[in-house]
Chains A and B, each alone.
Chain A
């Protein structure tokens, strides 16, 4: 059914008792033209665009847990395209543009709020680097504005502007089209829209191996039986190397825990996303009033989705350095997602060494913002068996060529 004000009013009058399920839970079929491994945002968006843009509807999305229960439901919901290099800018800005129309496209409110993404400058060197960064963005066709100290005070009054601040704020820059979106809604919206086009979303279905040989992949072995597959897309973020091991190749990826926190809900105090390069901490305030806080990676490789205490202390201390007035705020929840970190902070996106297997991974700390464009380009690559022009530079072959795209600074969080 189509969601609208009218359907809402009608169901409200009936006491909200008969809402239809948003997507089916089918039994897996013996064979699909395309099997996507990983039911997060990237996998679901890939399935949606395969059906919508390319007419490929015999598609299954396999998820070992529940959809959006991995990094899609664990990130801090920031959407932005303030990258330095042309390849990244073109890709991530395509993603922001898709986000701008996504609620309408999916008939699902993803609560996209373009409140602006601010990066603070604490030193003269920060100002100079940001002038270059903001101008590079403009050269790449992405909006950016440098902010003076007076403008900063106006935009984010709660920051510590005192001269004795540990990291004094002296300016910054903003991408006004950046902001936040409801992360669960992005997964659910893509799932519902893909399901309506005939895609099978199969949850609680863990991939345990593959049938493949020199001619390519033939089937995916799962906890719910073997499923034949014409083509296989891997969208498993931090667990991508586990799948690659089962396909006999290696990836330039190390998995780390990245933590996030939310505070108790408070009255509106922060209506931007604010990142400090000095503390490595960034935060925003959700529509519920909770502060949503993220920081640096935990410091050693991990598949434990919980995070370590020393990093909690570092992030909270960093936040209090920026906003001393939050010192009596209580934290409600803390969790971690397992992120797939690559040497140059640029995704690994392209054909895999096994034929008819396609990679979408290596997003590191920033996969959420890339979901619409990641799905868009992945669907193109799977349907046409060639990389989409927007991701042509992100292939696995860039490492031997030395053609790295070093986005370490623009990726936002210290890797």
Chain B
């Protein structure tokens, strides 16, 4: 069970949130090749370690934000805004 610190509402139970999957994925240009579109749509970083993902406080403020979370320990390393760059987590 995760305790997630919503940047707007404070610490809340994981049941109030929805995980939106990997963050920081850039949409390619319209002229991109089929391979680039496939990469954008389907390929994901799936590390056994820190992953950077989008979460939404669905049953709260309904706002999106980013979370850096370890997929092995489930420990949350950082919570940061949608527009911020990835924090560097060793």
Residues of B within 8 A of A241 (CB): 46-47
- Most interface-central of A301, A401, A402 (chain B CB within 10 A): A301
Please count how many residues in chain B sit with their CB below 8 Å of the partner chain's CB atoms.
28
A310 and B15 contact, Cβ closer than 8 Å, known pairs A252-B43, A302-B71, A303-B71: yes
Q: Which of A242, A252, A254, A308 contacts B48 (CB 8 A)?
A: A242
Contact B53 A301 (CB under 8 A): yes
For residue B59, CB closer than 8 A to chain A, the reply is no
A300 x B53 contact (CB < 8 A): yes
Please indicate the chain B residues that have their CB under 8 angstroms from the CB of A401 in the complex: 34
* Interface bracket on A: 20 to 34
Please tell me if the beta carbons of A301 and B14 are within 8 angstroms of each other in the complex: no
Alpha-carbon distance between A251 and B22 when the two chains are bound, in angstroms: 14
Chain B residues 38-57 with CB under 8 Å of chain A are: 38-39, 41-48, 51, 53
Bound-state Cα–Cα, A330 to B38, Å: 46
A399 touches B71 (CB 8 A): no
**Other-chain contact of A310, B1, B44, B73 (Cβ < 8 Å):** B1
The answer to whether the Cβ of B27 comes within 8 Å of any Cβ in the partner chain is: no
Q: Is the interface of B mostly helix, strand, loop or mixed?
A: mixed
Task: Please give, as numbers and ranges, the residues of chain B lying within 8 Å of A250 by CB-CB distance.
Answer: 39, 43-45
One digit per residue, 1 when the CB lies within 8 angstroms of any chain A CB and 0 when it does not, for chain B 1-24 equals 110000000000011001101100
* Chain A min CB distance to B14 (Å): 6
- What B residues does A239 contact at CB under 8 A? 48
- Which residues of A have CB within 8 Å of B21? 254, 301
Taken together as a complex, chains A and B put the C-alpha atoms of A254 and B42 apart, in Å, by 10
Q: How far is the CB of B30 from chain A (nearest CB, A)?
A: 16
In the complex, A302 Cα to B21 Cα: how many Å? 12
Chain B nearest CB from A320 CB (Å) reads 19
Is A343 positioned at the interface, with any CB of B under 8 Å from its CB?
A: yes
Leading 5 A-B pairs by shortest Cβ distance: A252-B42, A300-B19, A400-B38, A241-B46, A399-B38
Can you give 26 A-B contacts (C-beta < 8 A)? A239-B48, A242-B47, A242-B48, A250-B39, A250-B44, A252-B38, A253-B46, A254-B22, A299-B19, A300-B53, A300-B69, A301-B19, A301-B46, A301-B51, A302-B71, A303-B71, A303-B72, A304-B72, A304-B73, A304-B74, A309-B1, A310-B1, A310-B15, A399-B42, A400-B37, A402-B34
